[in-house]
Copies of this chain bind each other. A is one copy, B any other.
Amino acid sequence: MTQIKAPAERAASLTATSAVSTINDVARLAGVSIKTVSRVMNNEPNVREETRAKVKEAAGLLHYRPNLLARSLAGSRSFLLCLLYHNPVPTYINNMHQGVINRCRQSGYHLLAEPQDLQGGDLERSIAGLLATVRLDGVILTPPLCDMAVVMQTVEAAGVPYVRVSPFLYPGRTATVRMDETRAAREATQYLLNKGHRDIGFIMGHPEHGGTHLRYQGYVSAMRDAGIEPRAEWIKQGYFNFESGVEAGKAYFAAEKRPTAIFSSNDDMAFGLMSVAQQLGIRIPDDISIIGFDDTPGCTLIWPHLTTIRQPILDMAYAAADILLSRTSGEEDGPAMNDIVRELPFTLIERDSVRAL
């Protein structure tokens, strides 16, 4: 009873200095045990309404915010999500990032961004280390990590729920957020076919990215549906970056007969391709039509504006975060993790880089 005044005094100073107060301070001020404060802060049931109000008021007065680290150590949740990535396309990660963080905000979560080095070789060590070091409530895997067995194994071994964005291999292994890349690629190809193109080139993406194969399949199937067998000289290997687009362009334009249209597996390579065309005086779309994939900001910067497939990256990020967050927010009765597949729609964005033949 004697020390009851202490926290009140401290409260006064706190409002001024905004120093941190602990659960103990709140408990004393409200005249309850710390466990009760804990219950209120976590919206647990079985607290009398009157008590709850009392605690809330005390907490408000003291500007109390539960310490994340302590919660995590004592309890079963860490309030931490992690985006594990290795991606050559900055805009992609950017959007993923932002989308996930947006959702985290709403749930009092925070995001750890962890780019991974693929070259270094010790991916497993790196990820296992991370997972041992900080307890995570969920991990989001983007391509190409989402298709790597080591990565999945490591995350699974740590018992951390995870979702894969646009995976290619091992379907049904865990929750998935995707876009129908094959169909998108097919529609892009069909768009070209509808415009009267027959000789259609295709620049493949990085071979380690699942999307690469999916998009390739889409291209091939659309071509075959149109009764055209894709020729080897139409298909170039790229790596999802500007430079590989340049290389592909050089190869195409050095050949005697070039395609009338080229479908690039992503925008950055299309930009590289366009840059070579520019240099060689090959006009787009007059001399050659080009279509990309991603709808990065550069599409409207480059001239002519690039026709492309828009990937709903932000929405995919939202979906991925939501899956993980709904897991941790109590409701245990959701569908099994590996049953979740969320497929988001793509859009073909018509701009100026394709002409009808």
Contacts and interface: CB of A to CB of B under 8 A. Distances in A.
A302 B275 CA distance: 10
B68 A70 contact: no
A132 B97 contact: no
A101 to B, nearest CB: 6
A345 interface: no
Contacts of A93: 94
Interface stretch (A110-118, A137-145, A254-262, A311-319): A110-118
Interface residues of A, number: 46
10 contacts: A65-B132, A67-B132, A69-B134, A90-B90, A93-B94, A101-B114, A275-B300, A298-B298, A301-B301, A302-B302
Interface string A10-24: 000000011110000
A135 B18 contact: no
A128 B63 CA distance: 9
A157 interface: yes
Interface in A213-249: none
Contact of A91 (B70, B90, B134): B90
A68 B73 CA distance: 10
A272 B115 CA distance: 32
A69 B65 contact: no
Contact of A158 (B20, B67, B113, B300): B20
